[in-house]
Amino acid sequence: MKTFSLSCMVRLACIAAALHLAGCTDAQKGAEQDPEMAPLRHGWVDEQEMASLEDDLGVWPSYGRTYSEQRFSPASKINAANVSRLGLSWYFDLDTSRGQEATPLIVDGVIYLSTAWSMVKAIDARTGDLIWSYDPEVPRKTLVKACCDAVNRGVALWKGRVYVGSLDGRLIALDAKDGSVAWSVRTTDAGKPYTITGAPRVIKGRVIIGNSGAEYGVRGYISAYDAESGELDWRFYTTPSKDGKPEGAASDSTLAMTYPTWSKGGVWRETGGGGTVWDAMAYDPELDLLYVGTGNGGPWNREIRSPGGGDNLFISSILALRPDTGDYVWHYQTTPGDSWDYTATQHIILADLEMNGAVRKVLMQAPKNGFFYVLDRETGEFLSAEPFAPINWASHIDANGRPVENPMARYPETGKDWTAMPGPPGAHNWNPMAFNPDTGLVYIPQQEVGFVYTPEADFEVRDRGFNLGVIHPHLPDDAALVNQIGKTLKGALIAWDPVLQKEAWRHQYPGPGNGGVLTTAGNLVFQGAAGGELHAFAADTGELLWSAPAGTGVIAPPISYELDGEQYIAWLVGWGGAFPLAAGEMSFLSGKVVNASRLLVFKLGGGKELPESPSFPEPAIVSHNVTPVLAQAKAGERKYTQYCGMCHGDSAVSGGVIADLRASGAIADEEVWKSIVLDGALSGLGMVSFASELSEEDAEEIRAYVLSRAASSIDRNEAQPAQ
């Protein structure tokens, strides 16, 4: 009781002091950090905490640790000399089997994290015990609007509250003490295909949140809510209103700039044009600038989206805004008139770099399009850009910061197929990179994934599924060819020198889609692999110093913190996301991994044993004595790829996260199949009715296609017995 009241008094004093803009004294702050009282602080992060993170080894209070989003931990007890002794300290099993992309946060010995399905947990970092759990009960049918699994990338903490964006478009404030809901607001139009997967950030008492959905047909925006009351403070649309008229939004002042960059006709007026703010944000408190990255144009195909061309501001751009008002300050567009899903939502890092003898305040991004950009973050001035991966859509970025394009890449204008590097997964995706101020290097989860863009001549806006204006390719039904294509897909961790704009070292993986990165003052870089291994590298040389099994594919980045004098590395693991859902056989490049979702926590000398993971669920494909009509199966191929492939896998091959359709009994029975595909019999599991898009005939054609895929898998296995 005594501890409780003392802590309360300290807390009240702090709050009172904060209200008078004086802040807590060091003594008060010290008292609050007494381990005995620590759990009573309950997720307390404020301006003062965010401003003094250099010395505070015990916290990871925001998505990228600091507002500069460097993902650099100043802790160094675990270092290049001793990291080989790193072992599992404890683990926590999660109650979901979808992809885990979140960055856990820790304040005062409590870990706050989000999991797939936007669920939130508070875990005691000393004992590994669950303190509370919150489930926003996202309707499973939301999956039909989600390109890339039921993932969530993290929560935000502010003054005793935990903020999470839910997949179905709510922003929810929880009491950090017990997980009870303080307020909940809908931030998107539930009638439109919006989702939220990104982590909110809190800046000066405002919760900033974006959304996703540009593949389906939405208009991107970012919103700021009062952290205390949940009231909307401002909203900034990344594409103009369809008539170019003001709409009472922070973005109104940019209409004269943005509206003329879109054509007078075009599908963008119907779909909103894309440009969703689904991931990156950073903040410079000195300049008082909030930076956000925006997504691809929607539909991808510009000739359909905005016929006749145009840069289509602000898609695929970096925006600098005032966090108090959402007022526009500057923008830089990485991919003008994007037609390739080259989002600029990828991780943004702020740092001060010495360039040409002067220290520059820079912003760095390695977006999907394959160029590493260094901009002046005060003015938006383009400083430099070089490719950090093989690319063929542009030769270079000119002195004005504009890409010099390969004319053949403009498939909407040529009307011809374009075989691109990179494709829509990007040379770097959402998996966060990290910057180490000691080495001056940026560590990027880089990948090489090509793609063939075929313009869709007979495009019409659909109610269900993607609206790309591109006919989605699929793998050929030929094992040797699939094998050849597989050899072109690559993944690596690369160390990039942002001043020299060149690679310093790399670690090559068997496939793409590897995890986010952490770097530390112990001269270390940590990264988990899609294939299920955890690694630590020397930050300066790239030497592999430590490896351990994760028991599942890893896509999320780890964090580090000190607690009671010991340094820990905490990692959310769990295979999922876009790759194992959509990529079919290509998702096996790194190995056949399962989803075993856990929080893993490591320390030097940790001796806890990781439970054995279940083996990969090899689909039991049986012969149904039904011979699909070839013409019907052929007709079903494109419909499957258009409506089904992004979840059930390229060519009906599941990456193991959800059941393999070829092994489903439903494919043998026309009535059962129809009840699922057209009547929504499994909508409770997320498989909604596609009756608005597909006729009975279409459903039968898709069934014939899946049956043909099952039959050919059986044939192939007979011809080539498993090794």
Give the residue numbers annotated as catalytic, written as ranges: 341
* 20 exposure class (CB count in 10 Å sphere: 0-12, 13-18, 19+): exposed
What span, in angstroms and rounded, lies between the C-alpha atoms of 525 and 407?
Answer: 39
What span, in angstroms and rounded, lies between the C-alpha atoms of 187 and 210?
Answer: 9
What span, in angstroms and rounded, lies between the C-alpha atoms of 544 and 531?
Answer: 16
Under 8 Å CB-to-CB from 625, ≥6 apart: which residues?
A: none
The minimum distance between CB 428 and Ca ion, in angstroms, equals: 14
> Which residue lies nearer to Ca ion by CB, 297 or 491?
297
Distances, alpha carbon 345 to alpha carbons 220, 292, 311, 441, in Å? 12, 7, 17, 21
The minimum distance between CB 333 and Ca ion, in angstroms, equals: 16
> Which residue lies nearer to Ca ion by CB, 296 or 446?
296
Stretch that binds Ca ion, among 234-242, 285-293, 296-304, 539-547 (CB under 5 A): 296-304
Under 8 Å CB-to-CB from 134, ≥6 apart: which residues?
A: 119, 120, 121, 164, 174, 179, 181
The minimum distance between CB 505 and Ca ion, in angstroms, equals: 30
User: Per CB under 5 A, does 503 bind Ca ion?
Assistant: no
> Which residue lies nearer to Ca ion by CB, 281 or 704?
281
Stretch that binds Ca ion, among 178-186, 291-299, 558-566, 703-711 (CB under 5 A): 291-299
The minimum distance between CB 426 and Ca ion, in angstroms, equals: 9
The minimum distance between CB 342 and Ca ion, in angstroms, equals: 9
What is the side-by-side order of every strand in the sheet holding 490-497? Answer: 434-436, 441-448, 490-497, 502-509
The minimum distance between CB 145 and Ca ion, in angstroms, equals: 13
Beta bridge mates, 519: 72, 525
- Residues 219, 272 contacting (CB under 8 angstroms): yes
What span, in angstroms and rounded, lies between the C-alpha atoms of 677 and 187?
Answer: 30
The minimum distance between CB 468 and Ca ion, in angstroms, equals: 9
> Which residue lies nearer to Ca ion by CB, 342 or 537?
342
Using the rule CB under 5 A, which residue among 49, 279, 341, 701 binds Ca ion?
341
Distances, alpha carbon 666 to alpha carbons 481, 627, 695, in Å? 29, 15, 18
User: Per CB under 5 A, does 69 bind Ca ion?
Assistant: no
The minimum distance between CB 12 and Ca ion, in angstroms, equals: 47
Identity of the amino acid at 527 = Q
Stretch that binds Ca ion, among 229-237, 293-301, 347-355, 431-439 (CB under 5 A): 293-301
> Which residue lies nearer to Ca ion by CB, 341 or 562?
341
Under 8 Å CB-to-CB from 130, ≥6 apart: which residues?
A: 92, 121, 122, 123, 124
Q: What is the full DSSP assignment across 578-609?
A: HHHHH-GGGGGTT-------EEEEEEET--PP
Tokens of 401: 């910061």
Distance of CA 290 to the CA centre of its chain: 19
> Which residue lies nearer to Ca ion by CB, 268 or 496?
268
> Which residue lies nearer to Ca ion by CB, 296 or 527?
296
Tokens of 704: 């014939």
530-589: contacts with Ca ion (CB under 5 A): none
Stretch that binds Ca ion, among 27-35, 115-123, 337-345, 575-583 (CB under 5 A): 337-345
User: Per CB under 5 A, does 296 bind Ca ion?
Assistant: yes
Under 8 Å CB-to-CB from 716, ≥6 apart: which residues?
A: 479
> Which residue lies nearer to Ca ion by CB, 315 or 530?
315
Size of the site for Ca ion (CB under 5 A): 2
Point out which residues bind Ca ion (CB under 5 A). Answer: 296, 341
